[in-house]
A = this chain, B = another copy of it.
Amino acid sequence: MSALPAGIEDVELAKAYRLLNHGPVTLVTSAHGGRRNLMAASWVMPLDYDPPKVLVVIDAKTLTRELVECSGEFALNIPPRRMAGAVFSAGSRSGRDGDKFRALGVDAFAARRIGAPLVAGCVGWLECRVLPEPGNEKRHDLFIGEVVAAAADRRVFSQGRWHFDDDALRTLHYTSGGVFHATGERIDVRS
């Protein structure tokens, strides 16, 4: 596998679910045949620990759906609050109208195990291979991915734990109508 950019480190696969467990909004990236795309998605969650699996809903009409079906791969990228505007814009336009990375001014870097690009400036990444389930895909637009690599920005996630010390790097939760909430105050019920 190629080296990760500076400041980004591998997340142990058995702990990859922790990147998603608190319900952050994600950017789904995909690529096939020289095209690439990113899509905003809140309907994403862990499905299993080991091997780690995730669920994501991908509407049938999207370019992402086409790229994921052709490639059998996708990545989940977890954006920090400073990317809220880009996430909202990603959800408001189609990759069929031109490369969305360029339109949004978002940079990409190479994933380690899959062909889909990863979004620079995010704080967590899960590289996934589709476990084909045609019934779920057709009936519910629901895709199951096995997480084959995971990484995080060590400033906010290390040794399997989130630590949101830098406000600008807090993750985001999407409600509706352009309104996000940052991941807020930490509450440790055991202390």
Residues of A within 8 A of B (CB): 18, 21-25, 42-48, 53, 55, 57, 81, 84-85, 88, 135-136, 140, 142, 144, 160-162, 164, 170, 172-191
Q: Is the CB of A187 within 8 A of B181?
A: yes
Q: How far is the CA of A63 from the CA of B21 in the complex (A)?
A: 22
Give the copy number.
2
Q: Measured between C-beta atoms, what is the minimum distance from A56 to chain B in Å?
A: 9
Q: How far is the CA of A119 from the CA of B188 in the complex (A)?
A: 22
Q: Is the CB of A23 within 8 A of B176?
A: no
Main secondary structure of the interface of A (DSSP, over half): strand
B21, B173, B181: the one contacting A174 at CB < 8 Å is B21
Q: Is the CB of A18 within 8 A of B184?
A: no
Q: Is the CB of B189 within 8 A of A88?
A: yes
